[in-house]
Structure 1
Amino acid sequence: MTTSSISKGCFVFKPSVPTRKKKKTLDAEDYFVNGSDDCKDSKLRFRICLDLWEDMKSETESVQDDLNKKILDSLLEFAKKSASSFMSREEDWASRMRASEIPVAALVLGVNLTDHNMTFQSLSDRLQHSVTPFVVSVQAKECAAVKYLLQKVLQRLTGVSMDKDEEETSTDLPQKSAHCFLRSLCDWYKTACKNSSGISPGKKRSFSQMDFSANPPIIVILKDLEAFSAHVLHAFILICSQYTQQLPLLFIFGIATSLSTVQRMLPHSVTSMLSIKLFQASSCTKHLATVIDKLVLTPKFPFKPSGKVLQVLVGLFLYHDFSVHNFIKGLQFCLLEHFHSQPLSVLCCKKQEAVVRTQQLSHQEMEKIRQLPSFMRFVEEQEPQEQVELLTSDEHLKELCQKLLKGLHRYHKNFFPILRCLHVLTSTLPKYPLGKQIRELHVTCLERNVWETEEYESAVQLLRILARDELLTALQKCVEILLPGKTKELRDALKQLQDLKDRLEQLDAYAHPLALDRHVEGRADDCFSENGLQKKTDLFQLQKTLLQMKDSRRTKERSPFELLRNETIEYIHSLVKMHLTRPESQPLYEVCYCTSSGTLRHHLNATPRTSLQMALTHPYCYLQNEALRNETGAISSAAPDICIVYKLHLECGRLINLYDWLEAYSTVVIAAEGEDPDPSEKENVDEIRHACFIRAVSELEFLGFVKSTKQKTDHVARLTWGGC
C-alpha cells in the first residue's frame, strides 16, 4: 500500500483482517437436543419439559410464600412497631428506653443454609415494599473486619462506593474512620428524609409513592450470624449504639442453630444494648413434606419419580444438607433426565394434550411403545387376534394408547386420595408400622403391593382394635379427603364411607363388649371356693378350665360395634387392593415415571475422593491420550507429574522419604525423556525436574493425600490408604 504526500511522515495502515464468524453460543435447548436421533421430537419434548417445570416452580414458590407468610408478617409488624416507637420518642428518647438499645429480630431458620437466601430475599422484598426503602443485607465472607462491614452497609444504602484513598485511611485509623462512616450516614439519612426522595437500592420510587413514614428505619440483615467474627460484631454494635438517637437502626440476625449463639458470641455488656425478639421459622422437614405433597402426591402434574428415585432425593436431604432448595433442584434434574432419555415422554402432559399427541406419533415411535416392558406384559394378557392387531396395526395401537393414557391419569386420580386415607388410618398407630410420614407409605406403595407386606398386616390387626372415637375421627378425615374426588370410584367410596360413619355414630360403643369380661370372670371363678381361697385342683382340671375359657372367646357373639368395625376395615382393605397397585402394573407407566435412580445418584451424590483417585490412577479416562494407556498398576512415564508422584506414593508406608521419592520420580521421568541431555544442560534439567516434583507434591498436599510432619524433617506423612 502507498500514499501520496509531499511531506515526510509515518503512515499506519491497518491490515485487512477477514471478519471471523462469532462462535455460536449454545443454549439449554441445544444441549438438550444434542445427540438425539429426532431433532424435531427433542425440541417438542424440551418445550413440554419447560412448561411442566414452570408450573411446578410456581407451585413451589407459592408453598414457600405460604410457609413463611406467618413469620414474615410478624417481622414486618415488628419493624413497623420499631419505626413508630422511634417517631414517638424523637424529643424524649432516653426517658422511654435506653439510648443505646437497638431492636433486633433474631430469625432462627435452621441448618438448611442453602435455603436461607430465598427466605432473606423474600423478606427483603417485603420490607422494601411496605416498611422502608433502606434495607441492606451482608454476609460474613464480605466482612472480615469492622471497616469492611461498615463499608458494605454504607455503600449499599447510599449507592456510593469508597475511593482507594478512603480505604487506605480506614486501614490506618479504623476506629476514627468507622465514626466517619456513621456520621456521613447520618447526614445522608437526614438529607434523604428531608427531601422525601430517598431511593432504595434497586428501587425507583420515592417515599410518597411508596407510602413510607417520615423517618423509615434502616434495617441491616446479617444473614449468617454464626459465621461472623465475634470481634467484628462486638465493635459494630458498640459503634452503632452511639448513633441510635440520629438513626432508627434495626438489625435482623439470621441464626442457623439457636438464640444462645448470640449470648455465646457477645458479652453481656453488648447484648444489653440490644432489644432481641425471637422469630422461629418452620422446620425444613415440614417444608419438605409440603413440597412433596404439592409436587409428587398429586395428579396435577403427570411427571412422577419412582420409588428408588424418591428415596435418593429424600436420602440426600436427610443425610447431607436438609435443603429443600436442593431437593427441588434434584427433582428438576429428574425431570430433565426423564424427558431427555425417554423418547415417549412427549406423552407426559395433560390428558387432553396426550390424547391429541398420540394421533401424531410416527411409526418409529409406535414401535418404541411396543417395546415397553409394561406394554409387552399387557399384550401377553390379550387374546391372540388382539395381539396380532396391536403388533401390526398402528391405527389400532393409537386408539388403544389413548384409552391406556386416560386409564393412567384415572389411576393417579384414584391412587393419591386412597393413599392419603390409608395414611390417616395408620399414621397414629403404635410404632407406625407403615411409617409416620406419608412419603414412607408412598415409597412402599411404589415398590410393591402394600397389602402383601408384613407391616400392612400388623397395621390391619391394630385397626381391628381401634376405639369408636378414634375410628370415627379417622373416617371423618377420610371423608374430607375424598370429598373433592371427581372419578366415579371416589364418589362411590365417599358414599360408602359416609354411610359407615353414620352407622358408627348411631351405635352405643360400650353396650355389649362387657359381656365377654363377665363371661371370662365367671369361668375364672370356678377355680376358687366361696371363701375366696383357691380350690384344690390338678393340672388336668386347670387345663380343662383354660380350654373352656378359650373356646368361649371363639364362640362368643360379637357386638354390633365390632361387626361394624370389621366391616369398615374390610372395605378399606378392598379400596387399597383396588387402587394402590404398583405403577408398574399400569400399561405405559414409563411415559410418566422417572426410574433413573443410578444416574441421579451419580450426579447428585458426589464422591470427590473417588473421582480424584480415578483421575490420578487412570489419567487416560480424562485426557483421552493414547500414550497414557497402560496395564493396571504400571506407572506410565508419559503421565502428568502429579499422576507419577501419586502412584509412587501408593508404594510407600505411613512416612515417605522425600529424597527417595524424588529419586524414584526422576527415574520414571528420565525413562520418558529417552537420551541423557548434554553435560552443560544437565544441571538445568535437574533443577526443572526438581521444581516439577515439588509442585506435584504441593498439589498432593493441597488435595489432602500427604502432609508435612515434625517426626522427621525430610519426610511427609501419608493421609489416605487404598486407591483405584
Structure 2
Amino acid sequence: MAAPPAILRPPQGGGDRHFIGAILPDSTADRCRIAIFPKPQVGEEEEVLRGINLKLFDQVLQWMQESFSAVCAIAKPCHTEVQQPYPLLTDVICRRIPTAFVLTKNAEFVDDITTFRDLPEHLVSSGCHLAKLSAAELSVKNGVGGCFKSLLRQLLSDVPDVPDVSALASWYCKDDNYNQPIIVIIDDLEQCSGYVLGELVMMLSEWVIKIPIFFVMGIATTLDAPKKLISSEALQRLEPCKLTLGSPSDRMDALVEAVLVKTCAGFCISHEDAMFLRNYFIRHDGTNTSFISALKEFWHDKLEALPQVVRKYAFGLPSCESAKNSCNSINNIVEGLSKLLKLQKDWNSVVLCLYEAGRHDKVQLLDIFCKAVNPNLQIQNATNSDPF
C-alpha cells in the first residue's frame, strides 16, 4: 500500500512517549513515562474483537441448550434403543436438525477466522462434543462418505473402514459421551458442495432423536444462501435459527473507541492520518484485519526509527536548550504533560458523548473522530464564535 502520512504526532502543546525520549536523557525520560502515561495494553485490539466474539458465543450456547432441551422433550431413548443400527420411527417434524446460521454480513473471511477458531473451545468447555467440516471435506470429490468419515475421525478413536451412523451411535452411548449434544461447525457454507451437504443433512436427520447432532453454519452473504445451495427436501430437515456476528462497522467502532479514544496513551493522530485510516477501511470493504495489519506494518517499517530523528532535531530547539539550564525543568515537563493528558481525556469524553448521541441515527465513531480532529473545522468554529 502507499505510505500514509505520519501516523502519530504529539497532542498540541505537548508530546507523546517517543517525544519525551527525544528531548530528555534516557533515565529522565523513563521517569517521566512512569509518572505520566499509563502502561500500554499489548494486543488490545485482539481483546476488543474477542469481546465481540464472546457475545456471539453466548448466543450460540443459549441456542444449543434450548435446542437440546427441545430434542430431549420429544423423546429420550435409552442406551439400548440408541445402539440399535437403525433410526427411530418418528414423524417428519421430529427429524429436523437444529441449525444456527451465523450471518457475518459479508465480512472478509480473514475477519471470521478468530470467530470460528475460538467458538469450538467455548462450546467444548460448556460440555459439547465438537467437529468441524471444511469446504474441502464437503466437496463432490470427497463425497458424503468421505465427509462423514472426517466427522467420525474427530469424535471416535477407532473409525471403521466403512463409515456408518451406527458406529457414531455406539460411541454416543458410552457414559462419557452420552447426554451431551454434538455440534458440527461449517464455517463457510457458500464454498461447500450443496449436493454433499444436502445428503449429509438427510442422513443425520434420521438419527437426530437418537444422536442429538446440531449444525452451526457461517454465511457470508445473505440468509437466502442455503436456499440457493441445498435442495428444498434437505432444507426441510433443518430447524433454522439466525444469529449475527457484529458488522465490520460495529467492530471498527469498538476498535477506535478502545485504541484511539479510551486508552488515552499519550498520543493522538492527525486529521490527515484519521482520514487515511477511514478511507483504507472503506476501500477494503470493511476488513478489520487488513486495517489493523496495515497500521502495524506502517508503524514497524516507517516509524520505528522516528524517535532518534526527533531526538537529534529536538536537541537544537531553544526550549530544549533552556530546559538543560533549569533545575526544575523535569518537574515542569511532568506537570505540563500531566495537564495535557487531562485535557486529552476530557476531549475523549466529549467524543464518546457525541457518539452515544449519534447511535440512534447509526453515526459511526470513526466518522465522528475524523471530524473531531479536523483542524479546519476547529478554526471555522472559532471564527464563527468570535463576536468581533
TM bin, normalised by shorter chain, reads 0.7 to 0.9
What is residue 275 of structure 1 aligned with on the other side? Answer: 239
What is residue 713 of structure 1 aligned with on the other side? Answer: none
Alignment of 1:440 with 2:372, yes or no, is no
- 1:313-347 CA distance string (max 9 Å, x none): 33232221422233333444455457622326xxx
What is residue 81 of structure 1 aligned with on the other side? Answer: 66
What is residue 644 of structure 1 aligned with on the other side? Answer: none
* Pair 1:314–1:246, CA change in 2 (3 A): same
SS at match of 2:266: coil
Could you say which structure has the higher helix fraction?
1
- After TM superposition, the structure 1 = structure 2 runs for residues 127-138 of structure 1, keeping only pairs within 5 Å, are 127-132=123-128, 134-138=129-133
Contact 1:305-1:334 within 8 A present in 2 as well: no
What is residue 230 of structure 1 aligned with on the other side? Answer: 194
- Could you tell me how far apart the structure 2 residues matched to 1:263 and 1:124 are? 26
What is residue 123 of structure 1 aligned with on the other side? Answer: 119
Choose which of 408, 417, 421 in structure 1 pairs with 2:340: 408
What is residue 114 of structure 1 aligned with on the other side? Answer: 110
- Could you tell me how far apart the structure 2 residues matched to 1:387 and 1:339 are? 23
- After TM superposition, the structure 1 = structure 2 runs for residues 355-366 of structure 1, keeping only pairs within 5 Å, are none
* Pair 1:153–1:306, CA change in 2 (3 A): farther
* Pair 1:156–1:264, CA change in 2 (3 A): same
What is residue 170 of structure 2 aligned with on the other side? Answer: 187
Displacement after TM superposition at 1:154 (Å): 1.2
What is residue 152 of structure 2 aligned with on the other side? Answer: 154
Structure 2: gaps (5+ residues):
1-25, 82-87
Choose which of 208, 224, 228 in structure 2 pairs with 1:264: 228
What is residue 22 of structure 1 aligned with on the other side? Answer: none
* Pair 1:411–1:121, CA change in 2 (3 A): same
Structure 1: gaps (5+ residues):
1-40, 167-176, 199-213, 345-363, 380-385, 461-569, 575-724
* Pair 1:156–1:295, CA change in 2 (3 A): same
Displacement after TM superposition at 1:365 (Å): 8.4
Contact 1:222-1:252 within 8 A present in 2 as well: yes
Choose which of 291, 302, 318 in structure 1 pairs with 2:282: 318
Alignment of 1:56 with 2:44, yes or no, is yes
- Could you tell me how far apart the structure 1 residues matched to 2:326 and 2:103 are? 60
- Could you tell me how far apart the structure 1 residues matched to 2:320 and 2:45 are? 42
Kindly name which structure, 1 or 2, has the bigger radius of gyration based on alpha carbons.
Answer: 1
SS at match of 1:54: coil
- 1:204-260 CA distance string (max 9 Å, x none): xxxxxxxxxx41111101100001011221222122223334321111111111111
What is residue 285 of structure 1 aligned with on the other side? Answer: 249
* Pair 1:181–1:317, CA change in 2 (3 A): farther
* Pair 1:76–1:309, CA change in 2 (3 A): same
- 1:283-337 CA distance string (max 9 Å, x none): 2211211221111112543344443333333323222142223333344445545
Contact 1:102-1:250 within 8 A present in 2 as well: yes
Displacement after TM superposition at 1:96 (Å): 7.1
- Could you tell me how far apart the structure 1 residues matched to 2:69 and 2:351 are? 51
* Pair 1:313–1:155, CA change in 2 (3 A): farther
What is residue 307 of structure 2 aligned with on the other side? Answer: 343
Q: Which amino acid aligns with 2:315?
A: R
CA RMSD of aligned residues (A): 3.8
What is residue 21 of structure 2 aligned with on the other side? Answer: none
- Could you tell me how far apart the structure 2 residues matched to 1:246 and 1:388 are? 82
* Pair 1:367–1:77, CA change in 2 (3 A): closer
Displacement after TM superposition at 1:399 (Å): 4.5
Contact 1:63-1:291 within 8 A present in 2 as well: no
* Pair 1:243–1:63, CA change in 2 (3 A): closer
* Pair 1:276–1:418, CA change in 2 (3 A): closer
Q: Which amino acid aligns with 1:157?
A: L
Contact 1:105-1:276 within 8 A present in 2 as well: yes
SS at match of 1:141: coil
Displacement after TM superposition at 1:111 (Å): 1.4
Contact 1:299-1:413 within 8 A present in 2 as well: no
* Pair 1:308–1:119, CA change in 2 (3 A): same
Q: Which amino acid aligns with 1:115?
A: D
Contact 2:131-2:185 within 8 A present in 1 as well: yes
SS at match of 1:308: helix
Please report the TM-score for the alignment, with normalisation by the length of structure 2.
0.73
- After TM superposition, the structure 1 = structure 2 runs for residues 479-558 of structure 1, keeping only pairs within 5 Å, are none
Alignment of 1:102 with 2:97, yes or no, is yes
Displacement after TM superposition at 1:138 (Å): 2.1
Displacement after TM superposition at 1:282 (Å): 2.7
- Could you tell me how far apart the structure 2 residues matched to 1:160 and 1:305 are? 58
SS at match of 1:296: helix
Contact 1:225-1:254 within 8 A present in 2 as well: yes
What is residue 389 of structure 1 aligned with on the other side? Answer: 322
- 1:637-693 CA distance string (max 9 Å, x none): xxxxxxxxxxxxxxxxxxxxxxxxxxxxxxxxxxxxxxxxxxxxxxxxxxxxxxxxx
Please report the TM-score for the alignment, with normalisation by the length of structure 1.
0.42
- After TM superposition, the structure 1 = structure 2 runs for residues 210-249 of structure 1, keeping only pairs within 5 Å, are 214-249=178-213
What is residue 370 of structure 1 aligned with on the other side? Answer: 315
What is residue 90 of structure 1 aligned with on the other side? Answer: 76
Contact 1:389-1:396 within 8 A present in 2 as well: no
Alignment of 1:418 with 2:345, yes or no, is no
- Could you tell me how far apart the structure 1 residues matched to 2:267 and 2:298 are? 10
- Could you tell me how far apart the structure 2 residues matched to 1:283 and 1:276 are? 21
Q: Which amino acid aligns with 1:186?
A: A
- 1:379-419 CA distance string (max 9 Å, x none): 5xxxxxx78624x6386654543344324312311221233
Q: Which amino acid aligns with 2:155?
A: L
- Could you tell me how far apart the structure 2 residues matched to 1:293 and 1:365 are? 28
Question: How many residues are treated as equivalent by the alignment?
Answer: 340
Contact 1:366-1:394 within 8 A present in 2 as well: no
* Pair 1:325–1:410, CA change in 2 (3 A): same
SS at match of 2:350: helix
Alignment of 1:451 with 2:378, yes or no, is yes
SS at match of 2:176: coil
- Could you tell me how far apart the structure 2 residues matched to 1:422 and 1:143 are? 48
SS at match of 2:155: helix
Contact 1:105-1:253 within 8 A present in 2 as well: yes
- After TM superposition, the structure 1 = structure 2 runs for residues 16-55 of structure 1, keeping only pairs within 5 Å, are 52-54=40-42
Q: Identity percentage over the alignment?
A: 19
What is residue 141 of structure 1 aligned with on the other side? Answer: 136
* Pair 1:436–1:75, CA change in 2 (3 A): closer
- Could you tell me how far apart the structure 1 residues matched to 2:253 and 2:113 are? 20
- Could you tell me how far apart the structure 2 residues matched to 1:269 and 1:87 are? 24
- Could you tell me how far apart the structure 1 residues matched to 2:246 and 2:49 are? 15
* Pair 1:253–1:405, CA change in 2 (3 A): same
Q: Which amino acid aligns with 1:412?
A: Q
